[in-house]
Amino acid sequence: MPQIVFLPHAEHCPEGAVVEAQAGETVLDVALRNGIHIEHACEKSCACTTCHVLIREGFASLEESDELEDDMLDKAWGLEPDSRLSCQAVVADADLVVEIPKYTINQVSEGH
């Protein structure tokens, strides 16, 4: 069973966390199931970027992003080569290390 290491984030996961994941579930679903409340304004429909995460380890184990996700990611604040939308990143058999960005586009536009 793969594990996901969520790196510490001041608001969502101050201590960081190491959690078990099931192959086939999304990074967002794993986070939510474990009390890590990553924002997901579009309710997991790949229509926003609020669930943007950085896959620091294990990126190659994920299925490639599709065109819709790539289009959404182009709008994400703090986009990096290892960026994914956590609602679309499906866990495979490898462990992952995930960083939740400090800001989302919603927070930036609202001045947080």
CA distances from 76 to 1, 43, 90 (A): 30, 16, 19
Pinpoint the alpha helices (H) of the chain: 27-33, 67-73, 105-110
Burial class of residue 20 in the structure, from the number of CB atoms within 10 Å of its CB (0-12 exposed, 13-18 middle, 19+ buried): exposed
CA 3 to chain centre: 14
> In this predicted structure, what is the pLDDT of residue 26?
98
Average pLDDT over residues 92-112: 75
Confidence class for position 107, pLDDT limits 50, 70, 90: very low
Mean pLDDT over all residues of the chain?
Answer: 92
The total number of structural domains in the chain stands at 1
Residue 104 is predicted with a pLDDT of: 65
User: Coil, helix or strand for 98?
Assistant: strand
| Range in 3-7, 74-78, 86-90 the model is least confident about | 74-78
DSSP secondary structure string for all residues of 45-71: SSS-STTEEEEEE-GGGSPPP-HHHHH
Q: Does residue 94 carry a pLDDT above 70?
A: yes
Its domain, for residue 44, covers 3-110
pLDDT tens profile 22-74: 999 999 999 999 999 999 999 999 999 999 999 999 999 999 999 999 999 99
pLDDT above 80 for 108: no
Backbone angles phi, psi at 8, to 5 degrees: -55, 140
- Taking the model in full, what pTM does it have? 0.91
* CATH number of the domain encompassing residue 23: 3.10.20.30
